[in-house]
Amino acid sequence: MCENLKSASQSPVKSWEEIESEADLRPTAIVMDIEGGEAEFIKENEEMIRKLRLVIVEFHPFTLGFGKIKTCQTILERSGLSKIDRIGNVEVWERN
C-alpha cells in the first residue's frame, strides 16, 4: 500500500528551458509552492529568475530550515528582486 502512495505522488519533471521551448513562452512571473523544493528550484534557476518581474513563493521553514530560506532570499535579491509583501510563509518579490 505504501508503494502505491509513493508512486501516486510522483510527477513528471521538466526543466524550465524545456517548458519555454515546447510552449514558446517567456514567463515574467512565477508562483511557487513546492512543499520544500523551493530552495532547489531557486538555486538551479537563478539565471531564469533574473528575467522575471514577479515571484510569489511559499517557504516551508520546517522543511527547508531558516538557513536555506535566507539563501533563497539572497538569490532573489541578487537577481534584482525586492520583497514587497509577506503573509505567513508566502513572500511576494518584485523587480526593482
Distance CA 96, CA 91 (A): 15
Structural domain contains residue 17 = no
Structural domain contains residue 14 = no
Residue pLDDT, tens place only, 40-85: 899 999 999 999 999 999 998 888 889 999 999 999 999 999 999 9
Structural domain contains residue 66 = yes
Structural domain contains residue 4 = no
Scored b (16 or more CB within 10 A) or e, 55-87 reads bebebbeeebeeebbeebbebbeebebeeeeee
pTM over 0.85: no
Provide the CATH number for the domain around residue 53: 3.30.110
